[in-house]
Amino acid sequence: MPFIAVNPATEEVIAEYPSHTPLEVDAALGAADAAYHAWRDVAIEDRATLMNRAAELLESEIPVIAELMTSEMGKTFGAAKGEAAKCAMTMRYYAEHAAAMLESEDITTSGSRSGVRYEPIGPIFAIMPWNFPLWQIIRCAAPIIMAGNVTVLKHAPNVPGCALYIENLFTRAGFANGVFTNLFVEVDQIAGIIADRRIAGVTLTGSEQAGRSVGALAGAHLKKCVLELGGSDPFIVASSADMERTVAMAVTARVQNNGQACIASKRYIVVRDRAEEFTEKFVEAMSEVPIGNPMAPSTVLGPLVSKSQFDLLAAQVSSSVAKGAVARTGGAPLEGVGYYYPATVLTNVPADSRAGCEELFGPVAVVSVVEDLDEAIGLANATPWGLGGSIWATDDEEIEAALSRLEVGMVFANAVVVSMPELPFGGTKNSGIGRELSVSGVREFTNAKSFYVA
């Protein structure tokens, strides 16, 4: 089957690309394996030179790749430019810091010399989603490649142009053939690629269901895997919250990337003494979010990525309203061309409704009222997911309570949860295993080899 890119704002087909044949896949894996055996011996300073060159190329082409991202998955042009700039920054970060992160560690033992070396393991198969079509790739590929491994990519089928752009970027920067390889392969080909002896590990960002499947395959073949899965992140509004800033950031946290981010805040948990004030101001602010053409500078909220995602979100909201949830603003898809769903706030959401127990991947916020911070943290933790979460408070004791007790991989105080190269990125519980970014990410796909000299 061809890989087809459809503009979600216009519903028009942009381009089609043929799938790779089994023979082409085999040849690509062979090239990746050969590239790895040469690349692992390249001095890390020389790897850094090439990574910086790729960053420089990307920075010179930000408007070009940003427009491609916008046309393929609907994020606003401004957000797409920011994503591209962040990718270039992260490539430069690993070019500068990977050597120190991978440096051998000396450990005092009875021997004359001993410690740990961090060495590459081989080609890593990356299965990536559409919502951040450049960032998701760079945040895993940059540390993988700087560690001496190579990357084989299976990108989401609706952003094929972005996949080709990244492959071409690395090639133009001077990386050898096979250091970064894009494959247009179907879902039913994934198992065979993971099983292939030339693949050393697998990393996936996607749904919980996809994570279980890929994790089982990796386990069956005894291969290291990193799984970054879904989330339903809490946004806790405590008694001491600075309400003006909290409301403004609450909107950003929900509508960023058109509401389609695993770390976007989805559950707004508010203590009762601030609930009325927060809800009224939040509903008003969400009702004023500009929605429309994602290329327009004034647009904050563009279309959802596809008709299937559009229909899913509409069904989740409508069925929840039928069970008693109240749509304080939004609550129904816009009519006309394009997959546009307005910023929506739901209150009085039954726990057993779809909005009460499913991840909402779109600009829909669920507001719940609790008696105090203890109940807020309890409700925040009462979910199978544990990706990120935030606390909005000015009181140090309230902040510390959330930092220490929230069952998540990442917790932010008075800031929207974001990914950054300095900090590990990943979740706990059903939100996945392993970490990307920081020193944790660069070491995930290395062999921590102990050494001892008598």
Contact predicate 312/343, CB 8 Å:
no
Q: Between helices 160-173 and 135-146, what is the axis angle to 10°? A: 30
Tokens 């993971």 belong to residue = 194
Catalytic residue among 228, 398, 436, 444: 228
Residue that the structure tokens 């005092």 belong to: 108
Is 262 labeled as catalytic in the residue annotation?
Answer: yes
Strands 233-237 and 265-271: parallel
Neighbouring C-alpha atoms within 13 Å toward the C-beta of 323? 18
CA distance 326 to 348: 6
Counting every residue written for the chain, the total comes to: 454
* Active-site hit among 83, 262, 359, 444: 262
Q: Catalytic annotation on 228?
A: yes
Cβ atoms of 355 and 361 within 8 Å: the answer is no
| Angstrom distance (rounded) from CA 326 to CA 343 | 14
Please give the distance of CA 71 from its chain centroid, rounded to a whole number: 19
Query: Which residue is listed with tokens 């270039």?
Result: 88
By annotation, the residues acting in catalysis are 228, 262
